[in-house]
Amino acid sequence: MEYVILWFIMAVICGMVAASKKGAGIGFLFFLYGLILWPIALVHALLIRAHVEPVRAEGVIGGKPYWRAKGEFCTVIDGKEVSFATMEMLSAALSGGEYQNAQQSEDELIGQRLLRRVKEL
């Protein structure tokens, strides 16, 4: 009985690993595969590659690519993904290296938006 429970748990793990990489449909198939041969299914699930959507850059400023996401301009600065509300802030951060000033300007812009919303209420 313990072996049946272990076999089922390992099949679920195979399905979860595959689902995290390729989606729920493939995860279910790997669960069924794991019910039959979980040791081989687990190795297969660990070796499959994850599906990652590539990010398409809209342009390049100062040698660094940028793109739009959720209405903001995004780029990578010092290994971190950073977003800016306007193109001017992005351009200032990438070309002049004035990231701190651009970040402060973005914080001020957010504060102004909040004040407008409070006034509207």
pLDDT single digits (tens) 98-119: 555 445 556 666 766 666 676 6
64-69 and 59-61 beta bridge pairing? antiparallel
The residue ranking higher by pLDDT, 97 or 15, is: 15
pTM of the shown model: 0.47
| Distance, CA of 98 to CA of 103 (rounded, Å) | 9
User: What 3-state class would DSSP assign to 84?
Assistant: strand
Give the DSSP H/E element, type plus range, for residue 58. Answer: none
